[in-house]
Amino acid sequence: MEREAVILKKSKVNDWVNVMREDHTVYGPVKYKYDYHFKELEPGMEVTLEYTRSMIPPKKFLHPQEENLITYRRNDGMETTPTKFEQKQVILGVHPCDARAIEVYDEIFGGDLPDVYYWNRRNNTIIIAVTCTVPDENCFCMSLDESGPTLEKKGYDLLLTDIGDSYLVEVGSMEGSLLLQFEGLFEKATEEHMHAKDKSVEVTKMKVQRKIPDVPGLHDFLEHNYENEVWAKETKKCLSCGTCTLVCPTCFCYHVEDFNRFNLEDGNRVRIWDSCQLIDFAEVAMGENFRKDREARLKWRIYHKLAYWQEQFGTLGCTGCGRCIQYCPADIDMTEILAEIRGDKVHA
Amino acid sequence: MDKPRIAVYKFSSCAGCQLQFINFESELLDMLGQIHISYFKEATSLVEDPPYDIGFIEGSVTCPHEEKKIKQAREDCKVLVAMGACACEGCINTLKNYRPIEEQVKRVYEHPEYIDTFDKAYGIDHFVDVDAYIHGCPVDRDELREFVVATLMAKKPFLRPHAVCVECKLNENECLLLRENGLCLGSVTRGGCGAVCPSWGRPCFGCRGPNVDANPEALVEIFRKKGYPDDEIRRRFQYFSGETPAFRKGAEACV
Amino acid sequence: MRNLYVPTKAVIEKIKTQTHDTKTFTIKPANGEKFDFEPGQFNMVSLLGYGEAPISISSSPDNKKTFDHTIRFVGSLTNTMEKHKEGSIVGIRGPYGSSWPVEEAKGKNVIFVAGGIGLAPLRPFIMQMFHDRDSYGKIQILYGARGTGEMLFTDEFNEWKKHSDTELHLTVDKLEEGEKWDHTVGVVTVLYDVAKLDPANTIAVICGPEIMMRFACRSLLKKGFYAPQIYLSLERRMKCGVGKCGHCQLGSKFVCKDGPVFRYDEAKEFHDTLL
């Protein structure tokens, strides 16, 4: 099938952002001191599409760190309106690993019991993905999806790929194509441009060096190695700080708390990102804590993502984005743990 | 129901924690609709006699007369709350705990002979039973509100037992430990402060004491790998909360 | 799209004291709509300002007008429940979760093993069987509690025993000094010998503290039961009840959605349980 595509000169990216901003809130990766962060793009801000990863994934625009579920007056009812969207939000520069994670989110927050707060955001979100060109040593997307640094036909409204002085812009949805209706920004793409993309992707794929071998066998492999001594060794290093999960694009867990005001009448029921690595995550009312041990918590994250997720949601819980490796202060690296259990040589 | 009678005490401290009550400003009237201030010298010179329903203790106990006073406060208050790092962990008053007291008294005071002080400073639970702790230097206003409101509603307050790292990530702070090799105690320190110091680019000093399952030995290893000498690591653990079991472990892991 | 997180208003119609720290609340949806549930399911009970907690339903599923929650006062939310009066409003979301094997048990003998508050989630199943007595074989209810003062539904026990082919065996862990007790003393598994259990054409359903269920299940295996004959109900932290908040996950399951009732052969494969 022929791909529907146009060309956008790199020099025109900012112009495009500006015209999109007229009817949308546009977010994109912006460099701070050390890391990239998805921020609202305001006039004069430079968006960077050649970046390796943002610290917090774009999931925050669909499932924010904190979200009000219910505003209540204890003796006088409640209001439960999900956030209103005056205009749609565009997330520009979503990497394939993060776009795949959003597809995972669609499963989690969908199903028989869809989450209206999530879908209210999701249905008002346009994803402009970008083929990754600068993977680093922590990336291992190729082990989890053979398309690796790019997306094949789904998971995006538009997909940009760097082909030199331009981006090839492929259309994934009607909503995406509506963002290409601006005069003077886009040119027709030719076969040649398509080839340039394919070549660029091939080059990037070569750069993704880190691997998890035998992904389909992970469930059985992990179950066989639940008592492996590597776990205790890694547990000694672990700070249980929750970082690995908070930066993870597929982690979705949240806590719910009622915050009351001094009049003891008004308050908000709020959900806040939670983490299975934290001590009270599996604690129940009478004090029983089913994952009190640090080791059980450390294992749960990895087992959940790599062994159980497939059966639960039909995909893996990891997209190989490398965040949990890069941002762990204790250098805990699940790909190296797996390698060590397998007896493979571990790079220092 | 009568409004609970509140007392706010000051021991060895800077008065910054009790100031957080006054800092409620626009919420003060709502707060005073729920509680009755019986004893709070920073706020009012009117003093009512005990007993009090809830006593908020600011400050650590550093000298014999404070020991008497805290024991009296315990008797006078049905519920006793340690408010802030000094009352909870001893805070920077405990810096004196790691050197001979005579030397320090001489260094600070012109007439050391007038000084009657303990060798060490302590959080108040060294002397009396404490019913609840609100951590921080100073206490975080949102946490103080949460504590007061939850207590009035007979509810368990939401006070994070987790490391500061959680809120650093929620705030999207860039990691000072990883990115600047900072001597940041956030990963072993109880959050709830909104990661206020790292949010302003300052590594966590551990003023809130250890989080519930802190792993200080692991953090010592990380600091060492970053090239910090043990002496400097130990001093960091002893800065605000050195007398807590977890931070003591961290300090003791340094040679 | 319906908002899953909005509790439905419900009125407390009746409150009955069970023990010194446990009461049964009979609750009715405020809009008068009927409430349909399966034995073993739970509701998220919601008190604005205090949050929500998963609490099993303890009444007969035949009653569609009201439902019961038998609540032990052990935390902020449940302690606040204790202060509620008849006529008070609470929020309800549910019913959620899997149910006891009501259909599967038809034509079979059923053994109930309950510990303490664990009798509450089993009661709807027991009531269902009494209602449809001829569809089931022998009923053996084995109930253990820490002390005589901790037993729930004691005023119904005589009624229960009147049903044909129904046994009720009681035990307490400990007696107060000088306390009179006509039943067994010891943990609930001592009743296995008292009741003479027969694994043939039988299923066992178990509910209680997880450590009690561990011993209850393992002892049944020793009595010749197979794991697939045994069902149990797990308690886990839950914030949503609908498979979103993530707290209750075990293996590839959500306890809120795929459980709380699991077959023992599945449950014992999970890590991070006491089973």
* C32-77 pLDDT, tens digit each: 999 999 999 999 999 999 999 999 999 999 999 999 999 999 999 9
In a domain, C176, yes or no: yes
Asked whether the CA dihedral C82, C85, C87, C88 is positive or negative, the reply is: negative
- Partners of C4 on chain A (C-beta within 8 Å) are 113-116
CATH code of residue C254: 3.40.50.80
> Whole-angstrom Cα distance, residue C255 to residue C243?
8
pLDDT on residue A346: 53
pLDDT on residue A3: 62
Q: Is A220 exposed, middle or buried (0-12, 13-18, 19+ CB in 10 A)?
A: exposed
**Residue A345 pLDDT > 70:** no
Q: How many CB pairs under 8 A join A and C?
A: 110
Q: Which two tokens stand for residue A34?
A: 């050390």
**Residue C204 pLDDT > 60:** yes
C49 touches A77 (CB < 8 A): no
pLDDT on residue A4: 83
Q: Which secondary-structure segment (H or E) carries C42?
A: strand C42-47
Domain co-membership, B65 together with B173? no
Annotate chain A with three-state secondary structure.
CCCCEEEEEHHHHHHHHHHHHCCEEEEEEEECCCCEEEEECCCCCCCCCCCCCECCCHHHHCCCCEEEEEEEECCCCEECCCCCCCCEEEEEEECHHHHHHHHHHHHHCCCCCCCHHHHHHHCCEEEEEECCCCCCCCCCHHHCCCCCCCCCCCCCCEEEEECCCEEEEEECCHHHHHCCCCCCCEEECCHHHHHHHHHHHHHHHHHCCCCCCCHHHHHHHHHHCCCCHHHHHHHHHCCCCCHHHHCCCCCCCEEEEEEECCCCCEEEEEEEECCCCCCCCCECCCCCECCCCHHHHHHHHHHHHHHHHHHHHCCCCCCCCCHHHHHCCCCCCHHHHHHHHHCCCCCC
Percent share of chain C, pLDDT over 70: 100
The strand pairing partners of A272, in sequence order, are A66, A255
Verify whether the Cβ–Cβ distance C235 to A284 is below 8 Å: yes
- For chain B, report the end-to-end CA distance as a whole number of angstroms: 57
Verify whether the Cβ–Cβ distance B178 to A238 is below 8 Å: no
Domain co-membership, B81 together with B141? yes
In a domain, C84, yes or no: yes
Query: What's the domain range around B241?
Result: 164-252
Domain co-membership, C190 together with C59? no
Domain co-membership, C62 together with C153? no
Under DSSP, the state recorded for C101 is: -
Chains that touch B (3 or more CB pairs under 8 A): A, C
Residues whose CB falls within 8 Å of the CB of residue C107, separated by 6 or more in sequence, listed in order: C135, C136, C137, C201
CATH code of residue C34: 2.40.30.10
- Partners of B149 on chain A (C-beta within 8 Å) are 260-262, 264
Give the chain B residue nearest C47 (alpha carbons).
B155
Domain co-membership, B71 together with B169? no
> Which band of pLDDT confidence, cut at 50, 70 and 90, is reported for residue A348?
very low
B15 touches B41 (CB < 8 A): no
Domain co-membership, C243 together with C113? yes
Query: What's the domain range around C33?
Result: 8-96
Q: Which secondary-structure segment (H or E) carries C70?
A: strand C67-72
Residues A85-103 have a mean pLDDT of 95
* Residue B184 backbone zone (phi > 0: left; psi -120 to 50: alpha; other: beta): beta
Domain co-membership, C71 together with C167? no
- Partners of A315 on chain C (C-beta within 8 Å) are none
Verify whether the Cβ–Cβ distance A263 to B188 is below 8 Å: no
Q: Which two tokens stand for residue C97?
A: 């979760």
In a domain, C168, yes or no: yes
Long-range contact set of residues B46-53: C-beta below 8 Å, sequence gap at least 24: B48/B5, B50/B7, B50/B75, B50/B76, B50/B77, B51/B5, B51/B76, B51/B77, B51/B78, B52/B5, B52/B6, B52/B7, B52/B76, B52/B77, B52/B78, B53/B4, B53/B5, B53/B6, B53/B77, B53/B78, B53/B79
- Partners of C76 on chain B (C-beta within 8 Å) are 150, 154-156
Which stretches of chain B drop beneath a pLDDT of 50?
none
Verify whether the Cβ–Cβ distance B163 to A279 is below 8 Å: no
Domain co-membership, C80 together with C114? no
Rounded to the nearest angstrom, the minimum Cα separation between A4 and chain C is 33
Domain co-membership, C81 together with C121? no
pLDDT on residue C191: 95
Amino acid identity, residue C77? L
Last residue of a domain, one of C96, C129, C164: C96
| Short-list A229, A214, A236, CA closest to A341 | A229
In a domain, B157, yes or no: no
- B154 to chain C, any CB pair closer than 8 A? The answer is yes
Residues whose CB falls within 8 Å of the CB of residue A253, separated by 6 or more in sequence, listed in order: A245, A273, A274, A275, A276, A281, C245, C246, C247
Residue by residue, DSSP assigns C148-199 as GGG-SSGGGHHHHHHSTTEEEEEEES---TT---SSEES-GGGHHHHHT---
pLDDT on residue A87: 87
Scanning C214-243 for CB atoms below 8 A from A yields 235-237, 239-240, 242-243
Question: How do residues A282-326 score in pLDDT, each as one tens digit?
Answer: 999 887 999 999 999 999 999 999 999 999 998 899 999 999 999
Domain co-membership, B139 together with B199? no
In a domain, B159, yes or no: no
- For chain C, report the end-to-end CA distance as a whole number of angstroms: 39
> Which band of pLDDT confidence, cut at 50, 70 and 90, is reported for residue A344?
confident
pLDDT on residue C124: 98
Query: Could you give the number of structural domains in chain B?
Result: 2
Domain co-membership, C85 together with C156? no
Domain co-membership, B123 together with B192? no
- C48 to chain A, any CB pair closer than 8 A? The answer is yes
| Short-list B238, B240, B207, CA closest to B220 | B238
Domain co-membership, C62 together with C172? no
Amino acid identity, residue B7? A
> Whole-angstrom Cα distance, residue A144 to residue A208?
12
Last residue of a domain, one of C49, C67, C96: C96
Last residue of a domain, one of C96, C124, C150: C96
Give the chain C residue nearest A110 (alpha carbons).
C244
Domain co-membership, B72 together with B198? no
Q: Which two tokens stand for residue A154?
A: 């789904």
Q: What is the ipTM of this complex?
A: 0.94
Domain co-membership, C130 together with C176? yes
Query: Could you give the number of structural domains in chain C?
Result: 2
> Which band of pLDDT confidence, cut at 50, 70 and 90, is reported for residue A46?
confident
Q: How many CB pairs under 8 A join A and B?
A: 104
Domain co-membership, B87 together with B189? no
Asked whether the CA dihedral B48, B54, B58, B61 is positive or negative, the reply is: positive
In a domain, B80, yes or no: yes
pLDDT on residue A244: 97
Verify whether the Cβ–Cβ distance A282 to C272 is below 8 Å: yes
Domain co-membership, B208 together with B122? no
Under DSSP, the state recorded for C223 is: T
Domain co-membership, B103 together with B36? yes
Domain co-membership, B60 together with B170? no
In a domain, C173, yes or no: yes
Domain co-membership, C122 together with C206? yes
In a domain, C233, yes or no: yes
- C107 to chain A, any CB pair closer than 8 A? The answer is no
Domain co-membership, B143 together with B177? no
**Residue A78 pLDDT > 90:** no
pLDDT on residue A84: 76
Q: What is the widest separation between alpha-carbon atoms in chain B?
A: 60
